[in-house]
């Protein structure tokens, strides 16, 4: 399919054409956004291109479109301006928004927005003033603190401003119903006056104004479609006549005015501001439909077209293509009037309007040289000798081998020391300027070979000779010095820095620097080493033409300045002599079917621009030129860059590295990257932009950042934790030791008390008393005696049973105590009265077993018990105390006491319950308060 | 001052017999919110005129009518050191309305005014954003703006510059009476 298409393509161009045209490149905005209503274009002070639509603003970097808009927007954007930092977006309803980096925000000012359409916006650097013109309220400016207004009452020609521009002198020109007005502020006072006072001009209503910095002209388009050029310094206005009505399709820049004639066959018109010449061009692919919405020429010399149906298109404005219908152009030379093209079918003349006339037919022209002084064209053929043509008289003189020519195959013609030197397959022959042969140089004269491809005379009057297989020679007097042996040299030129550059089909581009030879290879950034020819710009920079386009090299720094193919032809396939430069600063290049004309410097001042959209770690945006310190959880590096190179976005390449993770460059075409889970450490991320293999380190972005280790791996944190653990361990161990000691103390006390209780129970007094009681009882009541013995044995059993327990419930304690009381009651009868006021809750409270028995025993032991003085013991629960009290009637003869019972009991209560026994001996009442526990303590072994 | 009365007189007596003129009475308060001290004062003696048909207006307020302040001494400083109320007894604002609004229809309208402030003997143009509320026969006016002291030649000694703000916030409310 492709073969068939390319065949058709060739067939079309084989028909000799007469058109000169530009080839617009389509930008597929319509793929991403559907049903867009475009309203305008903007590119200035910012690398991006902006397209305003009825649904918001779109930013374009050559590859991606990003859209931003107001919420629920139905208003049209009516003005755009970028002040170098942010984009100012003015709307039809007077709203003003700004777009900076990622954020699109309303511009909030105390005075509020105008309520009329913002027709233009701008910025005066002099006093940092933002200005805007409105259609309805005149002119506003904001000086950083307040907004001011200039309207009719201040002398403005009307409150409806159609358009406004500011010039390099910080003056503003506003188009009103009464013509152009100049506005400025001087020492905080408003200065307003009409620019041109001639009545004929002051009546013009301009709907579009454009300011051209380089010529200080204002271009105005009137309501009726007239185009006027107002020269600011002279205050003169001149009408430019175009045979069609101009609307929005007009722009000024790069020394030219570009206008679109929407209905014309050649829709693009250019008007050169210095030569005042008009040229017309076809726009390839737009022959039937150029419905313009907006047209701008940007600082890169790219013409941007926004068309209703075709969307966004761009054209390299200074690159024009002529259809010549010649399939094998082998030589080109130029004059003021046009260019001479040598083809395998003959010699042709092409004037600047694209009109082509054949001069010689059936001649295979492979070299051309124009003697501009004498106006004589020298044409060298392949096999048919030399043809010298007087361009005024069209008289031709053929010189062949028969007429003294050394050989009929002429590869190169050049002038050297006022003579004409030709390179042939039988050496070099020298002619005078009229065409008379002078002398020849062949192998016999010291030439290493007779096959000579090219001759080049430099500014220092050296003649350089390129040979087939025998290298580069230099003429010294009558001798030839071989500088490079072996190579075939097909093209030679001189660049600045006194370097001689040459091309070898095998080894590519080389140069001679003093006495050394070096090769400039693809590794240095050259796009291709299949080079067809080289030449130099007037400023001494080197142009290298190759199969994919051309590269531009600075011969001193050896930097690549440009690399690309500004045409829509994918392969150039030009021949070695098929390019020429003229004095009109144009280059001509012949490729199959076409001649490409481009201006010197095309694409050369345009360097790719690298823009960092964002570089962030987590949610922290990194700053350039500083070391960013980040915490350990910001370990994902996320970068997004844009590369802008509108002349040829497909040539853009990026390389990046994250040191120290990556030591070598990585290459990509999509500069959006994500590094995840970076380890703590210091990193440097670098991003560079390049065209094909040539990178521009000056355009690089470098970000340094340090990810701190998490706090739990830092030495101080570990030390802190270890210390804390040691302290905690020490505290726990100490506590355990203390607790063990307490438990063993309790055990000790318990054992002591048990021993004491046992001792008192087997106390002979107790037994003696018990037995006496028993004897008395046996005699009186046998049954009672049996019960007494049973109770006595119960009492001893209980003692054995409960002695190991720490705590028992008060109910249990009262039950044991009952048995003991029975024994006492038998002994003392009615002389011992026990009063219980213990209440109902005796199950839920706890005491140490045999407490009551001990206290009762004490009372009985120390007090007189007689008929006259009965002992009343009261046992009651008061709050959470068990109170045992009795009136004191001390015995005269005291029973021997160990004093151990009460002390020991008190100590045990303290250890077990942390509460002490309270002993009161006051007003003849002895009372002991035992703390009641509401739960069984855990110490229950 | 004389000029101001001339303006008022001109507005009052100029033009058509049926020109709609509103007389405005209202309050003005201001706040100076400095790092070390907040000063506020209020006056109920705002007087003004709006000629709705011609979109012109004039307002005046006598400085001596401001009450409030944090101390009597502060008030004295306000009049004698900063505002020089003896020499410049009034603040005036007069000019034209930038936006039109239907004065007979109920509603809330944002109406911007472009006029000259005369403060401390310095005349400066300012645009203010105002709210006019029309409800039946009643018309209310509201405005909020800031005044930069250095624009009006009011110099604050460095020793108190943390007590007096460079930017004074002003609040205006008023009610219109149609004579």
Average pLDDT over residues A825-838: 83
Chain center to CA of A872: 98
In this prediction, residue A895 carries a pLDDT of 58
Are A578 and A589 spatial neighbours (Cβ–Cβ below 8 Å)?
yes
Examine residue B23 and state whether it is found in any structural domain, yes or no. no
pLDDT in tens, A754-807: 776 666 655 666 777 778 778 877 877 888 888 888 888 888 888 778 777 778
Q: Distance (Å, rounded) from C-alpha A331 to C-alpha A577?
A: 5
pLDDT of residue A896: 56
Token pair of A589 as six digits? 């290049």
The answer to whether residue B20 is domain-embedded is no
More confident residue, A732 or A894: A732
Look up residue A86 and give its two tokens.
Answer: 């942010």
- pTM, 2 dp: 0.71
Chain A residues near residue B111 by CB distance under 8 angstroms: none
Among B125, B143, B145, B170, most A C-beta atoms within 10 A, so best to mutate, is B125
Q: Is the pLDDT of residue A734 over 80?
A: yes
Which residues in chain B are contacts of A111 at CB distance < 8 A?
112, 127-129
Res A17: pLDDT: 41
Residue B101 lies in a domain: yes
d(CA A818, CA A791): 9
Residues A40-98 pLDDT 10s = 999 988 889 999 988 889 999 888 888 888 887 678 899 999 988 899 999 999 999 99
Question: What pLDDT is stored for residue A695 in this prediction?
Answer: 85
Q: What is the pLDDT of residues A890-903, one digit of tens each?
A: 777 665 555 567 77
B77 within domain boundaries: yes
Q: Domain for residue B125, yes or no?
A: yes
In a domain, B12, yes or no: no
Q: Which residues of A touch B96 (CB under 8 A)?
A: 153
**Is the pLDDT reported for residue A9 higher than 50?**
no
Average pLDDT of the segment spanning A497-512:
90
Q: How far is A124 from chain B (nearest CA, A)?
A: 20
Is B95 a domain residue? yes
| HEC assignment per residue over chain B | CHHHHHHHHHHHHCCCCCCCEEEEEEEEEEEEECCCCEEEEEEEEEEEEEECCCCEEEEEEEHHHCEECCCHHHHHHHHHHHCCCCCCCEEEEEEEECCCCCCCCCEEEEEEEEEEEEECCEEEEEEEEEEEEEECCEEEEEEEEEEEHHHHCCCCCHHHCCCCCCEEEEEEEEEEECC
pLDDT given for residue A3 in this prediction: 38
What's the confidence (pLDDT) of residue B16?
42
A145 shares contact with chain B (CB less than 8 Å): yes
Residue A212 pairs with which residues in a beta bridge?
A217
B71 to chain A, closest Cα gap in Å: 31
Chain B CB contacts of A110 under 8 Å are 129, 145-146
Task: Answer yes or no: do A147 and B99 touch at CB < 8 A.
Answer: no
Q: What are phi and psi of A618, to 5 degrees?
A: 60, -125
Give me the residue from A111, A151, A153 closest to B112, CB to CB.
A111
pLDDT higher than 60, residue B7: no
- Bridge partners, A220 (sequence order): A209, A228
CA distance B109 to chain A (A): 12
Residue of B nearest to A138 (CA): B98
Predicted pLDDT at A602? 54
- pLDDT tens per residue across span A24-46: 888 888 777 777 788 899 998 88
Q: Which of A266-275, A652-661, A912-921 has the lowest mean pLDDT?
A: A912-921
pLDDT digits (tens, 9 = 90+) for A836-867: 887 777 777 888 888 888 888 888 878 888 88
Which of A663, A594, A15 minimizes the C-alpha distance to A322?
A594
Question: What is the pLDDT, as a whole number, of residue B10?
Answer: 52
Q: Is A906 helix (H, G, I), strand (E, B) or coil?
A: helix
Residues in chain B with CB shorter than 8 Å from the CB of A113 are none
Residues of chain B with C-beta less than 8 angstroms from the C-beta of A153: 96
pLDDT value for A13? 38
Q: What is the dihedral of CA A571, A577, A583, A587, to 10 degrees?
A: 0
Contact A146 B126 (CB under 8 A): yes
Residues of A in contact with B101 (CB under 8 A): none
Residue A911's pLDDT is what? 76
pLDDT of residue A724: 95
DSSP A710: P
Q: A188 to chain B nearest CA, in Å? A: 10
Burial of A545 (0-12, 13-18, 19+ CB in 10 A): buried
Decide: A457 and A482 in contact? Cβ < 8 Å.
Answer: no
For the record, the structure tokens of A602 come out as 């095309």
pLDDT digits (tens, 9 = 90+) for A150-161: 999 888 988 999
For residue B149, is it within any domain? yes
Q: What is the pLDDT of residue A11?
A: 35
Q: At what angle do helices A810-828 and A851-862 cross, to 10 degrees?
A: 30
Distance from the Cα of B124 to chain A's closest Cα (Å) equals 10
- A137 at the B interface (CB within 8 A)? yes
- Between A850-859, B79-88, B140-149, the lowest mean confidence (pLDDT) is in A850-859
Q: Which residues face A280 on adjacent strands?
A: A269
pLDDT for the residue B178? 73
- Can you give the CATH number for the domain in which B56 is found? 2.40.128.110
Distance set, CA A236 to CA A200, A232, A278, A326, A371 (Å): 12, 7, 21, 48, 43
pLDDT of residue A211: 92
Cβ–Cβ gap A137/B98 under 8 Å: yes
C-alpha span between A245 and A266 (Å, rounded)? 15
Look at residue B8 and tell me whether its pLDDT is greater than 60: no
Mean predicted lDDT score pLDDT of chain A? 84
**ipTM of this predicted complex?**
0.85
Q: What are phi and psi of A633, to 5 degrees?
A: -80, -5
Structure confidence at residue A539 (pLDDT): 78
Rounded to a whole number of angstroms, the distance from the CA of A115 to the nearest CA of chain B is 8
Closest Cβ–Cβ partner in A110, A145, A148 for B125: A148
The reply to whether residue A137 touches residue B148, judged by beta carbons under 8 angstroms, is no
Taken in order of first residue, the domains within chain A and their CATH numbers are: 70-241 (2.130.10.10), 322-599 (2.130.10.10), 612-710 (2.60.40.10), 724-931 (3.30.565.10)
pLDDT at A14: 37
- Which residues in A lie closer than 8 A to residue B112 (C-beta atoms)? 111-112
B110 near A CB under 8 A = yes
Chain B from 118 to 157: CB within 8 A of any A CB: 125-129, 145-146, 148
- Return the higher-pLDDT residue of A168 and A738: A738
pLDDT of res. A726: 95
Contact A147 B127 (CB under 8 A): yes
Residues of chain B numbered 52-91 and touching chain A (CB < 8 Å): none
Number of domains chain B is built from: 1
Percent of chain B with pLDDT over 90: 39
What residue numbers bound the domain in which B129 lies? 31-37+45-177
> A693 near A665, Cβ under 8 Å?
no
**Cα separation, A701 vs A640, whole angstroms:** 12
> Least CB-CB distance to B112: which of A112, A148, A151?
A112
Beta bridge partners of B94: B58, B116
Contact B129 A110 (CB under 8 A): yes
């Amino acid at each position: 399919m492709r073969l068939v298409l390319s065949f058709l393509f060739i067939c079309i161009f084989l028909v000799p054409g007469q058109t000169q045209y530009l080839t617009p490149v389509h930008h597929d905005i319509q793929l991403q956004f559907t049903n867009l209503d475009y309203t305008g274009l903007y590119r200035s002070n910012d690398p991006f291109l902006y397209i305003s639509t009825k649904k918001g603003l779109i930013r374009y970097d050559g590859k991606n479109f990003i859209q931003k808009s107001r919420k629920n927007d139905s208003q049209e954007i009516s003005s755009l301006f970028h002040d170098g930092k942010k984009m100012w977006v003015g709307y039809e309803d007077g709203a003003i928004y700004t777009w900076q980096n990622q954020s699109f925000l309303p511009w909030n000012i105390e005075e509020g927005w105008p309520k009329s359409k913002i027709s233009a916006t701008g910025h005066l650097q002099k006093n940092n003033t933002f200005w805007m013109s409105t259609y309805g309220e005149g002119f506003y400016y904001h000086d950083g603190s307040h907004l001011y207004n200039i309207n009719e009452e201040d002398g403005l020609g009307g409150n409806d401003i159609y358009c406004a521009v500011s010039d390099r002198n910080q003056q503003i020109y506003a188009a009103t119903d009464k013509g152009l007005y100049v506005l400025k502020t001087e020492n905080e006072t408003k200065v307003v006056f009409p620019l041109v006072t001639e009545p004929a001009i002051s009546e013009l209503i301009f709907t579009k104004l454009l300011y051209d910095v380089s010529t200080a002209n204002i271009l105005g388009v009137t309501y009726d479609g007239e185009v006027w050029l107002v020269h600011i310094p002279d205050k003169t206005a001149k009408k430019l006549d175009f045979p069609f009505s101009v609307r929005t399709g007009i722009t000024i820049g790069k020394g030219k005015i570009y206008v679109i004639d929407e209905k014309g066959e050649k829709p693009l018109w250019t008007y050169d501001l210095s030569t005042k010449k008009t040229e017309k061009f076809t726009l390839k692919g737009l022959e039937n439909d150029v419905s313009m919405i907006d047209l701008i020429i940007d600082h890169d010399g790219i013409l941007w077209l926004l068309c209703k149906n075709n969307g966004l298109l761009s054209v390299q404005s200074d690159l024009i293509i002529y259809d010549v219908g010649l399939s094998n152009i082998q030589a080109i030379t130029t004059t003021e009037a046009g260019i001479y093209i040598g083809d395998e079918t003959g010699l042709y003349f092409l004037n600047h309007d694209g009109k082509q006339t054949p001069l010689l037919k059936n001649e295979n022209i492979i070299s051309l040289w124009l003697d501009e002084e004498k106006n004589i064209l020298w044409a060298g053929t392949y096999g048919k000798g030399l043809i010298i043509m007087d361009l005024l008289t069209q008289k031709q003189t053929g010189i062949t081998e028969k007429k003294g020519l050394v050989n009929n195959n002429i590869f190169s013609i050049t002038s050297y020391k006022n003579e004409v030197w030709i390179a042939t397959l039988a050496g070099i022959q020298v002619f005078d300027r009229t065409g008379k042969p002078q002398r020849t140089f062949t192998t016999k004269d010291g030439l290493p070979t007779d096959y000579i491809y090219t001759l080049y005379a430099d500014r220092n009057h050296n003649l350089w000779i390129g040979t087939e297989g025998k290298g580069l020679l230099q003429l010294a007097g009558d001798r030839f010095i071989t500088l490079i042996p072996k190579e075939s040299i097909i093209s030679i030129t001189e660049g600045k820095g006194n370097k001689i550059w040459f091309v070898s089909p095998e080894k590519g581009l080389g140069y001679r620097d003093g006495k050394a030879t070096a090769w400039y290879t693809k590794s240095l950034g050259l796009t291709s080493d299949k080079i067809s020819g080289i030449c130099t710009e007037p400023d001494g920079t080197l142009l290298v033409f190759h199969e994919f386009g051309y590269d531009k090299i600075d011969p001193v720094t050896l930097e690549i300045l440009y690399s690309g193919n500004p045409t829509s032809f994918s392969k150039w396939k030009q021949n070695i002599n098929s390019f020429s430069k003229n004095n009109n600063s144009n280059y001509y290049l012949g490729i199959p079917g076409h001649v490409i004309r481009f201006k010197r410097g095309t694409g050369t001042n345009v360097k790719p621009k690298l823009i960092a959209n964002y570089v962030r770690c987590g949610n922290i945006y990194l700053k350039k030129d500083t070391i960013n310190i980040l915490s350990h959880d910001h370990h994902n590096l996320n970068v997004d860059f844009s590369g802008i190179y509108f002349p040829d976005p497909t040539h853009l390449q990026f390389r990046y590295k994250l040191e120290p993770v990556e030591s070598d460059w990585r290459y990509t075409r999509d500069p959006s990257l994500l590094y995840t889970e970076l380890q703590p450490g210091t990193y440097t991320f670098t991003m560079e932009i390049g065209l094909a293999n040539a990178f521009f380190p000056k355009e690089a972005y470098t970000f340094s950042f340090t990810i701190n280790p998490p706090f739990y791996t830092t030495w101080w944190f570990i030390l802190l934790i270890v210390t804390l653990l040691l302290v905690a361990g020490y505290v726990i161990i100490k506590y355990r030791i203390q607790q063990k000691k307490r438990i063993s103390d309790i055990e000790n006390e318990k054992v002591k008390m048990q021993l004491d209780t046992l001792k008192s129970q087997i106390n002979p007094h107790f037994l003696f008393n018990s037995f006496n009681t028993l004897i008395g009882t046996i005699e009186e009541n046998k049954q009672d005696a049996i019960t007494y013995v049973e109770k006595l044995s119960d009492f001893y059993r209980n003692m054995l049973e409960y002695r190991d327990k720490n705590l028992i419930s008060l109910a249990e304690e009262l039950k044991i105590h009952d048995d003991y009381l029975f024994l006492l009651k038998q002994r003392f009868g009615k002389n011992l009265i026990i009063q219980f006021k213990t209440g109902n809750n005796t199950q839920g409270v706890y005491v140490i077993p045999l407490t009551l028995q001990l206290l009762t025993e004490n009372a009985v032991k120390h007090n007189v018990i007689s008929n006259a003085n009965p002992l009343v013991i009261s046992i009651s629960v008061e709050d959470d105390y068990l109170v045992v009290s009795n009136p004191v009637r001390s015995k005269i003869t005291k029973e021997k006491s160990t004093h151990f019972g009460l002390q020991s009991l008190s100590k045990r209560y303290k250890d077990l319950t942390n509460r002490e026994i309270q002993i009161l001996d006051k007003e003849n009442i002895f009372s002991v308060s035992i703390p009641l526990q509401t739960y069984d303590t855990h110490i229950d072994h | 001052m004389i000029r101001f009365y001339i303006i008022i007189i001109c507005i009052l007596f100029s033009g058509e017999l049926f020109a709609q003129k509103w007389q405005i009475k209202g309050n003005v308060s201001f706040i100076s919110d400095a790092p070390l001290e907040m000063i506020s004062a209020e006056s109920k003696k705002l007087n003004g005129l709006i000629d709705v048909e011609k979109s012109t207006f004039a307002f005046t307020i006598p400085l001596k009518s401001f009450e409030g302040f944090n101390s009597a001494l502060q008030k004295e400083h306000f009049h004698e050191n900063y505002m020089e109320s003896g020499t410049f007894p009034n603040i005036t604002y007069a000019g034209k309305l930038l936006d039109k609004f239907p004065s007979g229809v109920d509603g809330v309208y944002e109406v911007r005014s472009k006029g000259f402030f005369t403060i401390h003997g310095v005349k400066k143009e300012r645009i203010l954003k105002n709210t006019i509320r029309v409800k039946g026969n009643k018309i209310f006016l509201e405005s909020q703006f800031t005044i930069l002291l250095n624009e009006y030649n009011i110099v604050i000694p460095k020793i108190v510059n943390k007590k007096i703000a460079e930017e004074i916030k002003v609040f205006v409310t008023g009610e219109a009476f149609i004579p």
